[in-house]
Amino acid sequence: MEQPKDYINQHKDRFLNELLELLKIPSISADSAYKDDVIKTAEGCDTVEICETPGYPIVYGEKIIDPKLPTILVYGHYDVQPPDPLYLWDSPPFEPVIKKTEKHPDGAIFARGACDDKGQMYMHVKALEFMTANDQLPCNVKFMIEGEEEVGSESLGWFVERNREKLANDVILISDTGMIANDVPSITTGLRGLSYVEVAVTGPNRDLHSGLYGGAVANPINILTKMIASLHDENNHITIPGFYDAVEELSAAERAKMAEAPFSLDAYQNALEIESVYGEHGYSTNERNSIRPTLDVNGIWGGYTGEGAKTVIASQAFAKISMRLVPDQNWEEITELFKNHFESIAPKGVTVEVTPHHGGQAYVTPIDSMGYKAAEKAYSETFGKTPIPQRSGGSIPIVALFEKELKSKTILMGFGLDSDAIHSPNEHFGVWNYLKGIETIPWFYHYYTELFKD
């Protein structure tokens, strides 16, 4: 194959400027004003469609050069997380700027969506541009970019179930994860599942004077926090009966292999300005955030939070709780277990309501597949090092559904860093990483097609 590097060097500025334009669109999953502009993300394809769904549309494009050749399905998302709290941003989230950082001495693009996922998705568009412009496309390609990933991909599930043939492919390729470091390339081999619920605790029928009634009635906030605290024991194990029943246990050999990946606990703690990590006894930090299931409160509210003091017992208290799941936990079963348990631990004097939001299954990709081998060769080509397989703690629930509905494996070639602050203020994506991704992707196409032909 012709080196993508020369083409990338020639067109670097345009590649950057196009991404900056894309990043100016505030495509928060709750905003539909971007529609026309995302069409250009599929340029280079023969067919470009905006597929309507019950929710936000899916951008679909394909280029079929020969039905005997393999077909790669590229997936990404054009929606982004809400940018708030806005005051914590050093520059406005939808006015991208390039600034140097310690981790990104060549500069990083600061904007909401820079890394998750517009920047990473757009690497695929530019890699395809290189291949089509230079007659280097070795196989068929389909692009499917959705707009609801950050809110649970409901419409994409709907779309996939109705378009199995249209989406038929040999391998799915996604850049929506990270890697260990710019000099430590890694390929994501696992994603955690998710169960997301909201809980409401209701006590007396109105807010009460905390002097007149305090001590005599159940305070919903006291009760809710006590109930939440009881969900972990002294070893930070989750106490919901049956929660661990289906959890995949890794062998000592697999855990030893994981522990070989370079990791500095000091650097980790320093980056977060914490004195110590915290988590489930018996597991390392990297195990806690990837192969172990967890439960976290994402938000909690109730009562008086305004200025000054108000002596009041609130009638209600609320929390949003997420559970990250691992193979082979079933997210719907876990949601049910949570609901039954949480309702059962409520004392008399309050009522508890659990409302499930969304969820999804965990995913693990084998490292002996053709797709993984092709990815490994591609990274070795452009990084000069064999990439390390690494299970991630994040979730892309649609990946398990792809496997179920389309019967194909997903390869997760992520080029972001954990320090890129996705979902946080000042999200950014290294310029070097963006260009490295554009360079590596065509090599994946190349090696995958070669292996496929053998």
Q: Which residues contact Mn ion by CB under 5 A? A: 116-117, 176
SS3 364: strand
Q: How far apart are CA 145 and CA 159, in angstroms?
A: 12
- Apex CA 259: angle with CA 256 and CA 264, to 5°? 160
Considering only residues 41, 189, 382, 392, which one is a binding residue for ligand BES as defined by CB under 6 A? 392
Q: Which residue in 62, 149, 420, 427 binds ligand BES (CB under 6 A)?
A: 149
Q: CB 200 → ligand BES: shortest distance, Å? A: 21
Taken as a whole, the chain contains a residue count of 454
**Is residue 152 within the footprint of ligand BES (CB under 6 A)?**
yes
Radius of gyration of the chain (CA): 24
Min dist CB 165 to ligand BES, Å, is 27
Closest to ligand BES by CB, 237 or 358: 358
The residue count for binding ligand BES (CB under 6 A) is 16
CA dist 7 → 14, 21, 132, 142, 187 (Å): 11, 21, 12, 22, 25
**In angstroms, what is the minimal distance from the CB of 3 to ligand BES?**
29
3-state SS assignment for residue 408: coil
Q: Which residue, 59 or 191, is less far from ligand BES as judged by CB?
A: 191
- The distance of closest approach from Cβ of residue 80 to ligand BES in the complex, given in angstroms and rounded to an integer, is 9
- Site for ligand BES, residues 395 to 414, rule: CB under 6 A: 395-397
- Decide if 375 contacts 383 (C-beta within 8 A): no
For the bound state, the minimum distance from the C-beta of residue 251 to Mn ion, rounded and expressed in Å, comes to 30
3-state helix, strand, coil in the chain (%, to 5): 35, 25, 45
420 contacts: CB under 8 Å, gap ≥ 6: 108, 114, 115, 178, 427, 428, 429, 430
Is residue 169 within 8 A of residue 139, CB to CB? The reply is no
Kindly write out the interface string for residues 104-143 of this chain, putting x where it contacts ligand BES by CB under 6 A and - elsewhere. ------------xx--------------------------
Q: Mutual orientation of helices 118-133 and 431-453 as an angle, nearest 10°?
A: 60
Q: Considering the rule CB under 6 A, would residue 148 count as an interface residue with ligand BES?
A: no
Nearer to ligand BES, 2 or 84 (CB): 84
CA dist., res. 65 & res. 76, Å (int): 22
Task: Output the smallest distance, CB 145 to Mn ion, in A.
Answer: 11
Strands 58-63 and 47-51: antiparallel
Q: Residue 117 or residue 376: which is nearer to ligand BES going by CB?
A: 117
CB of 187 to ligand BES, least distance (A): 12
| Closest approach of ligand BES to the CB of residue 414, in Å | 6
Of 59-67, 102-110, 301-309, 391-399, the segment contacting ligand BES by CB under 6 A is 391-399
The one of ligand BES, Mn ion, none whose footprint includes residue 177, by CB under 5 to 8 A per kind, is ligand BES
> By CB under 6 A, is residue 178 in contact with ligand BES?
yes
Query: Which of Mn ion, ligand BES, none interacts with 28 (beta carbon under 5 to 8 A by kind)?
Result: none
CA neighbor of 108 nearest in space, from 96, 118, 120, 116: 96
Q: In whole angstroms, what is the distance from residue 19 CA to residue 439 CA?
A: 16
179-198: contacts with ligand BES (CB under 6 A): 191, 194
Query: Which of 147, 185, 389, 394 is in the footprint of ligand BES by CB under 6 A?
Result: 394
Angle, CA of 44, 75 and 289, to the nearest 5°: 145
Q: Which residues contact ligand BES (rule: CB under 6 A)?
A: 116-117, 149-150, 152, 176-178, 191, 194, 358, 392, 394-397
